[in-house]
Chains A and B, each alone.
Chain A
Amino acid sequence: MIYLSQLVGNPVFDLNGERIGKVNDLGIATGEVFPRVTALAIEGPSKTPFMVSWRKYVESFGESEVRLKVVATDIRFSYLQPSEVLIARDLLNKQIVDTRGARVVRVNDLKLSDTSSSQLRLLGAEVGVRGILRSLSPTLERLVLRAAKSLGRSVPERIIAWNYMDLIDRDLSDVKLSVSHKTLDELHPADIADIIERLDPRLRGQVFAQLDEERAADAIAELDDDAMAAELMGGLNDAAASRMLSEMDPDDAAELVSELDYDKAEKLLRLMGVQERKAINQLLGYREDTAGRIMTSEVVLLPEDASVSDAIRAIGELDDDFESVHYVYLKDEEGRLSGVVGMRALITSDTDARLADISFDDLVTAGPDDDQEDVAKDIAKYNLLAMPVVDDNRHLLGMVTVDDALDVLEEEHEEDLQIAGAGRSDSDRSQAGSNILWLLRSELWFFFWMAGIALLATIIEPQMGLAHTLRFALALPVAVIAARDAVSFTTNFYLEFGPEDEDAPSDLGFMLKGLGLGLLFSAMAILIATGVEAVLSPGRPLDGEGILVGFAAAAISIVVSFLSTPVYLGVLRRRDASNRETSGQVLSSVAMVVAVAVFVVATVLLSGAVLV
Chain B
Amino acid sequence: MDEKTLKPQAHETPELPLPSRRTRLLAMLSVMGPGILTALAGMDAGGIATFSVMGSNFGFAMLWSDPLTCLLLIVVQETAARMACVTGKGFASLIREQFGIRVSTVAMLATVMSNFAVTVSEFAGIASGMALFGIPVFVSVPIAAVTAWLLTMSGSYRRVEKVLLAISCVFATYIISGFLAKPDWAHAFHDTVIPQLSGDPSYISVLVASIGTTISPYMIFMVSSNVSEKNLGERDIAGQRADNVSGALVSQTIAWFITLTTASVLFPLGIKIADAADAAKALVPLAGQYASAMFAAGLVGASFLAACVMPGITAGAVCEAFGWERGTDRSWKEAPAYRGMVTAISLVAAVIVLVPGADLFGIMMGAQIVNGMLLPVLLVCMVRIASDRRIMGRWANGRTWNLLTWFTIVLVVVLTVVMFAFQAIGY
Interface residues in chain A, defined as those with a beta carbon under 8 Å from any beta carbon in chain B: 92-95, 104-108, 127, 132, 135-136, 198, 200-204, 227, 230-231, 258-263, 265-266, 281-282, 284-288, 428-434, 436-437, 440, 579
Bound-complex Cα distance A478 to B231 (A)? 48
Bound-complex Cα distance A230 to B1 (A)? 13
Considering only residues 136-161 of chain B, those with a C-beta below 8 Å from chain A are 146, 150, 153-154
Q: Is the CB of A200 within 8 A of B88?
A: yes
Q: Is the CB of B89 within 8 A of A431?
A: no
What would 22 A/B residue contacts be, using CB atoms closer than 8 Å? A93-B96, A104-B323, A106-B322, A132-B322, A135-B102, A136-B105, A201-B231, A202-B231, A231-B231, A262-B18, A265-B16, A266-B16, A281-B14, A281-B15, A285-B8, A428-B333, A429-B331, A433-B150, A433-B154, A434-B154, A437-B150, A579-B4
Bound-complex Cα distance A260 to B332 (A)? 33
Considering only residues 216-238 of chain B, those with a C-beta below 8 Å from chain A are 228-231, 233
Minimum Cβ distance to chain B for residue A124 (Å)? 15
Interface membership of B394, Cβ < 8 A: no
Bound-complex Cα distance A262 to B331 (A)? 35
Chain B positions within 8 Å of A106 at CB level: 96, 322-323
Q: Is the CB of B332 within 8 A of A136?
A: no
Chain A positions within 8 Å of B19 at CB level: 261-263
Interface membership of B339, Cβ < 8 A: yes
Q: A203 with B150: in contact, given A230-B3, A258-B3, A286-B11 (CB under 8 Å)?
A: no
Considering only residues 29-70 of chain B, those with a C-beta below 8 Å from chain A are none
Chain A positions within 8 Å of B184 at CB level: none
Minimum Cβ distance to chain A for residue B420 (Å)? 28
Interface string of B4-23 (1 = CB under 8 A from A): 10111111011111110001
Smallest CB-CB separation from B98: which chain A residue? A93
Bound-complex Cα distance A260 to B347 (A)? 43
Interface membership of B2, Cβ < 8 A: yes
Q: Is the CB of B97 within 8 A of A94?
A: yes
Q: Is the CB of A433 within 8 A of B10?
A: no
Smallest CB-CB separation from B12: which chain A residue? A285
Bound-complex Cα distance A36 to B358 (A)? 59
Q: Is the CB of B228 within 8 A of A200?
A: yes
Given contacts A107-B323, A132-B101, A281-B14, list 10 more A-B pairs with CB under 8 A. Answer: A92-B100, A200-B88, A200-B89, A202-B228, A204-B231, A230-B3, A261-B23, A284-B16, A430-B332, A433-B153
Chain B positions within 8 Å of A201 at CB level: 88, 228-231
Bound-complex Cα distance A202 to B150 (A)? 28
Q: Which of A132, A198, A261, A433 contacts B2 (CB 8 A)?
A: A261
Smallest CB-CB separation from B20: which chain A residue? A262
Interface string of B85-106 (1 = CB under 8 A from A): 0011110010011001110010
Q: Is the CB of A198 within 8 A of B11?
A: no
Q: Is the CB of B88 within 8 A of A261?
A: no
Minimum Cβ distance to chain A for residue B261 (Å)? 26
Q: Is the CB of B7 within 8 A of A285?
A: no
Q: Is the CB of A93 within 8 A of B100?
A: yes
Minimum Cβ distance to chain B for residue A132 (Å)? 6
Minimum Cβ distance to chain B for residue A395 (Å)? 15
Q: Which of A198, A259, A285 contacts B325 (CB 8 A)?
A: A198
Minimum Cβ distance to chain B for residue A409 (Å)? 22
Interface size on B, residues (CB 8 A): 45
10 nearest A-B pairs in the assembled complex, by CB-CB distance: A106-B323, A202-B88, A201-B231, A281-B14, A135-B101, A262-B19, A285-B14, A433-B153, A430-B332, A285-B11
Q: Which of B6, B100, B332 contacts A261 (CB 8 A)?
A: B6
Bound-complex Cα distance A200 to B232 (A)? 12
Chain B positions within 8 Å of A579 at CB level: 4
Bound-complex Cα distance A132 to B325 (A)? 16
Chain B positions within 8 Å of A104 at CB level: 323, 325
Smallest CB-CB separation from A230: which chain B residue? B3
Q: A261 with B101: in contact, given A433-B153, A437-B150 (CB under 8 Å)?
A: no
Smallest CB-CB separation from B323: which chain A residue? A106
Chain B positions within 8 Å of A437 at CB level: 150, 154
Q: Which of A127, A202, A263, A281 contacts B323 (CB 8 A)?
A: A127
Chain B positions within 8 Å of A428 at CB level: 331, 333-334
Which of A92, A202, A263, A282 gathers the greatest number of chain B CB atoms within 10 Å? A202
Chain B positions within 8 Å of A262 at CB level: 6, 16-19
Bound-complex Cα distance A95 to B87 (A)? 14
Q: A287 with B339: in contact, given A201-B230, A266-B16 (CB under 8 Å)?
A: no
Bound-complex Cα distance A281 to B13 (A)? 9
Minimum Cβ distance to chain B for residue A209 (Å)? 13
Q: Is the CB of B97 within 8 A of A93?
A: yes
Q: Is the CB of A108 within 8 A of B7?
A: no
Q: Which of B3, B6, B10, B102 contacts A136 (CB 8 A)?
A: B102
Chain B positions within 8 Å of A108 at CB level: 101, 322-323
Bound-complex Cα distance A9 to B323 (A)? 24
Q: A203 with B18: in contact, given A94-B97, A430-B339 (CB under 8 Å)?
A: no
Which of A261, A287, A437 gathers the greatest number of chain B CB atoms within 10 Å? A261
Smallest CB-CB separation from A107: which chain B residue? B323
Chain A positions within 8 Å of B15 at CB level: 281
Q: Is the CB of A136 within 8 A of B323?
A: no
Which of B153, B325, B339 gathers the greatest number of chain A CB atoms within 10 Å? B153
Chain B positions within 8 Å of A227 at CB level: 3
Bound-complex Cα distance A265 to B5 (A)? 13
Bound-complex Cα distance A498 to B10 (A)? 20
Bound-complex Cα distance A92 to B101 (A)? 10
Q: Is the CB of A95 within 8 A of B231?
A: no
Chain A positions within 8 Å of B11 at CB level: 285-286
Chain B positions within 8 Å of A436 at CB level: 146, 150
Smallest CB-CB separation from B325: which chain A residue? A198
Considering only residues 346-365 of chain B, those with a C-beta below 8 Å from chain A are none
Minimum Cβ distance to chain A for residue B37 (Å)? 18
Bound-complex Cα distance A218 to B339 (A)? 32
Q: Is the CB of A202 within 8 A of B89?
A: yes
Minimum Cβ distance to chain A for residue B330 (Å)? 8
Bound-complex Cα distance A147 to B105 (A)? 21
Chain A positions within 8 Å of B323 at CB level: 95, 104-108, 127
Q: Is the CB of B231 within 8 A of A258?
A: no
Q: Is the CB of A431 within 8 A of B8?
A: no
Bound-complex Cα distance A579 to B150 (A)? 29
Bound-complex Cα distance A107 to B264 (A)? 57
Q: Is the CB of A260 within 8 A of B228?
A: no
Minimum Cβ distance to chain B for residue A220 (Å)? 16
Bound-complex Cα distance A262 to B22 (A)? 13
Minimum Cβ distance to chain B for residue A285 (Å)? 4
Bound-complex Cα distance A434 to B331 (A)? 10
Chain A positions within 8 Å of B17 at CB level: 262
Chain B positions within 8 Å of A107 at CB level: 323
Q: Is the CB of B101 within 8 A of A93?
A: yes
Q: Is the CB of A285 within 8 A of B13?
A: yes
